[in-house]
Homo-oligomer: A and B are copies of this chain.
């Protein structure tokens, strides 16, 4: 993809992005989705209304609402504020479009050399996570006057930039998994008859949120969903917590999404309360075996389908094929679910060093009143893989 360009201190992320831009004959990219901002610049927006103008040949410019916190913006970004949040401004987006246009004009870049993903679908949540604020369609239309027409092939190539994480990004995802493990420890400590699913889940989220301020963390939020006994049999279709009280003999499953400073972990654990019946314990045993088989098979050069098969065959060998109804994994890190190929039957895409994926087979049997899934986050390394999510103890608060 051409030779590396000369910059003061190119990171491998910069190298990837600039190779993409050159390959597609682009001189700039406009990004506003929180996950795109994290990937392109390491900046995790607060409101979700920031916009990054990424140049092929210059340092990027970041446009932020005038009410955006400024203390976590990477220092190398030139920052311009625009009147989002100003009581007296009824149309801040017009001001933003105009400012973006000015920067492009100053750099003498024409619209057909500027790329952008206008879609608001499946964006990561920003720090302010209680209400989604995708930049409105009318604004996207205004912006489209400054950019090339969306091109499916180019957008697919852009999405591929999510796939190979850099060393710094891997460290950030490792930290998200470290925090998630603090939550998982609370999960295991709270499993006892009489406690409700929601109480367990709430305790896990509590443990994750309070990590803010420790270890340099400025944002930490978990979404924990706990399903017990018969409810665990639903966990292949959806994950939520109810008021059901745990009982002796239950399987209890936790699905846990964790976001730390803009980087995501996606984990699942299943544990037994007391002594389940043999036909319930069997489900957990099969899932453990299938998950470990797929984990063991993760290395560069194997296809997604091959990894999927490692888990699916173990489950099929016990006669439970029809109870494993979902994929074996997906990419993770910039979002709860990153774009990119899934680990599922028939997928020929191959694993490469730097990819971070989940491995999460599950078996859910309504007739036995039980379901189980185990999910880890794995880094594909040159030598094979590193499980980022199995952490003994923790130095966090």
Residues of A within 8 A of B (CB): 46-47, 66-69, 85, 87, 118-125, 127-137, 196-199, 201-203, 205-214, 217-220, 223, 234, 236-244, 257, 325-327, 335-337, 344-345
Contact = CB atoms under 8 A, between A and B. Distances in A.
Nearest to A88: B345
Given A205-B209, A243-B212, A325 B136 contact: no
Q: Which of A47, A128, A336 is packed against the most chain B CB atoms within 10 Å? A: A128
Chain A contact surface mostly: loop
A360 B69 CA distance: 21
Contacts of A327: 87
28 contacts: A46-B240, A67-B236, A67-B238, A68-B238, A69-B238, A85-B326, A118-B137, A120-B134, A121-B134, A122-B132, A122-B133, A124-B131, A128-B240, A130-B257, A131-B335, A134-B134, A196-B213, A197-B212, A198-B212, A198-B220, A202-B206, A202-B207, A202-B209, A205-B205, A205-B206, A213-B243, A213-B244, A218-B242
Contacts of A197: 212-213
A212 B242 contact: yes
B223 A130 contact: yes
Contact of A131 (B87, B242, B336): B336
A394 to B, nearest CB: 17
A210 B238 contact: no
Given A69-B238, A205-B205, A218-B242, A132 B136 contact: no
Nearest to A336: B131
A326 B120 contact: no
Contacts of A217: 243
Contact of A125 (B68, B69, B131, B205): B131
Contacts of A344: 87
A137 B120 contact: yes
A4 to B, nearest CB: 34
Nearest to A127: B240
Q: Which 10 A-B pairs have the closest CB atoms?
A: A213-B243, A198-B212, A202-B209, A130-B223, A67-B237, A121-B136, A130-B257, A206-B206, A202-B210, A131-B336
A238 B47 contact: yes
A30 to B, nearest CB: 17
Contacts of A87: 325-327, 344-345
Contacts of A68: 237-238
Contacts of A69: 234, 237-238, 240
Given A47-B238, A121-B120, A218-B242, A131 B210 contact: no
A212 B241 contact: yes
Contacts of A129: 129, 223
A198 B396 CA distance: 14
A214 B243 contact: yes
A133 B123 CA distance: 8
Contact of A132 (B125, B211, B238): B125
A336 B130 contact: yes
Contacts of A213: 196-198, 242-244
B214 A209 contact: no
Nearest to A215: B243
A336 B220 CA distance: 21
